Amino acid sequence: MVANRINATDFRTGTTITISEPQYNDVYIAAGNVIINAPIYGDLIVTGGSVIINDSIMQDINVIGGTVVISGYVGDDVRCAGGEVTIKNYIKGDLIAAGGKIKIDSNGSAESIIVTGGDVFIDGDSRGDLNVAAGNMKLTGTVWRNADLKGGKILIEGTIAGKANLAASRDIIIYKKARIARGIRYWLPFRRPLEIPSGVSPYPPVYDSLLFITHSRWYFLGASTFLGLLWYLGMAFILILLFQYLFSSTFYRAGIRATAKPGRSILIGSAYFVVIPVTALLILVTIIGLPITVLLLLFYAISIFLAAVISSIVITNVVSFVSQKDFSLMKMVGIELFTFVLLKIISFTPFFGWFLTFIIVSASFGAIISSIRWQSLQQKIRFPSKVRSMAYNS
C-alpha cells in the first residue's frame, strides 16, 4: 500500500487503501481501491475506482466510485454515485444513490430511498417512501409507505403498503404476487390500459395524465414540469448567447477543425475525458496534490455540465462553415438552442443514444482543444524578469 496520511485517521490517499483497525474519527479517502474491514465511528467520505465496505460505519457515508459495495451496517445516511452500486445491509438513515446499475439486496434497507440509474433492482425494503427514476427498474422487495416510480420499463413483484404512482415510456408489468395496498395511478403512452392480476390491489388502476407531464415529457431535458422546462431552456439560452458572443472566433475555428479533421477531433476529445480524471487521481497521491486535484475535478465537472451547450455551439459553427452563410448572432443562438434540444433527445435514445452523444461531445471538445492557438497563448503569458531569473536559478 502506498499512502499519504494527514492527522492519523483524517485523510488517506494511495493506490489501494485498506482499513483494518477501528477508526474513531471521520475518515477521508481517495484511492484507486478502497476496502473497509473495520468499523468507523465517524463519517466516511471516499472516492475511488472500487469501494468495498465490509464493516460498520456509524455515521454518514458519502462515496463516489466505479464500483461501490456496502455490506456493513450504516448508522446514518448514505449518499453515493457510481457505475455499479450494491447495498447489502441495514441503513439507519436515508439512501440517495445514482449510477449505471443500482441494486439493493434482500437484506438491504433504508429509512427512505431515492435512486436514479440505468438499471435499478430493489430486492430489499424502503421503510419510508421509495422514489426511483430509471431506464429499467424491478421491485421485488417491500415499500412501507408510498412509491413514485418512473422510467422506461417498470416491473413490480413486491409489496407497496401505500400508494403507487407509476409512469413508463415503454411498459409497466405487475406480477400476480405483487401487493399494492392503497391504489395505483399510472401513465403509459397512448393511454394504454394497465392490466393487473386479481388480488394485487383492492382498487382499480387510475390513468393520470398529469404523471405524463411530471414524469415523462420533460425530465429527459433536465426539468420536471413545463415551467421548469422554460426555466431550463432559458438558462441554456443565456449560456449559449454568452459563449457565442464572447468566444465566437474560437468556436468558428473549432467548427472548421471538426469539419476538416473529424477523426482527430474525436480522438483528442475522447483523450480529454479520460486523461483529466486519471491525472487528478495521480496528482492526488502527492503531498501537495489535493488542491490541484480539486481544481482539476471542478474544471472537469463544469465541462461535463456544459457539454451539451458547448457541443451545440460547435455543431452550429460547422453548419455555418459548410454552408458558407454568415448568420447573425441571434440566428446562430436560435440554431444552437435547437441543436441543444436535439442533443438532449439523442442522449436518451435507447441503445445507441449514449454512444452517439459521446462521439459528438468528444468531437466538439477535441475540435476546440486542437483549434486553440497555444503558441500565441504562450506568448501572451509573460513573467516578470525577477520571476524568470528565480526560475532559471532554481
The closest alpha carbon to 46, from 67, 20, 73, belongs to: 67
Segment 31-48 mean pLDDT: 88
- For residue 182, the model assigns a pLDDT of 93
Indicate the residue type of 147: A
In DSSP terms, 48 is beta-bridged to 31, 65
Chain centroid to CA 348: 13
Per-residue pLDDT tens for 356-385? 888 888 899 988 888 876 545 445 444 444
Q: pLDDT-based confidence at 96, cuts 50/70/90? A: confident
The arrangement of strands across the sheet holding 179-180 comes to 109-110, 125-126, 142-143, 159-160, 179-180
Q: Please choose, from the candidates 274, 275, 281, the residue with its C-alpha nearest in 3D space to the C-alpha of residue 15.
A: 281
Mean pLDDT (whole number) for 270-283: 78
Assess whether pLDDT exceeds 80 at residue 282: no
How high does pLDDT run on average in the chain?
81
Mean local confidence (pLDDT), 182-208: 93
Residue 100's alpha-carbon distances to 85, 216, 321, 360, in angstroms, are 8, 19, 38, 21
Instruction: Express each pLDDT in 141-181 by its tens digit.
Output: 999 999 999 888 999 999 999 999 999 988 999 999 999 99
Whole-structure pTM value: 0.58
- HEC per residue, the chain: CCEEEECCCCEEEEEEEEECCCECCCEEEEEEEEEECCCECCCEEEEEEEEEECCCECCCEEEEEEEEEECCCECCCEEEEEEEEEECCEECCCEEEEEEEEEECCCCEECCEEEEEEEEEECCEECCCEEEEEEEEEECCEECCCEEEEEEEEEECCEECCCEEEEEEEEEEECCCCEECCCEEEECHHHCCCCCCCCCCCCCCEECHHHHHHHHHCHHHCCCCHHHHHHHHHHHHHHHHHHHHHCHHHHHHHHHHHHHCHHHHHHHHHHHHHHHHHHHHHHHCCCCHHHHHHHHHHHHHHHHHCHHHHHHHHHHHHHHHHHCCCCCHHHHHHHHHHHHHHHHHHHCCCCCHHHHHHHHHHHHHHHHHHHCCHHHHHHHCCCCHHHHHHHHHC
- Which band of pLDDT confidence, cut at 50, 70 and 90, is reported for residue 392? very low
Question: At 380, which amino acid appears?
Answer: K
pLDDT on residue 261: 86
Q: Tell me, what's the pLDDT at 65?
A: 73
* Dist CA 364 CA 370 (whole Å): 10
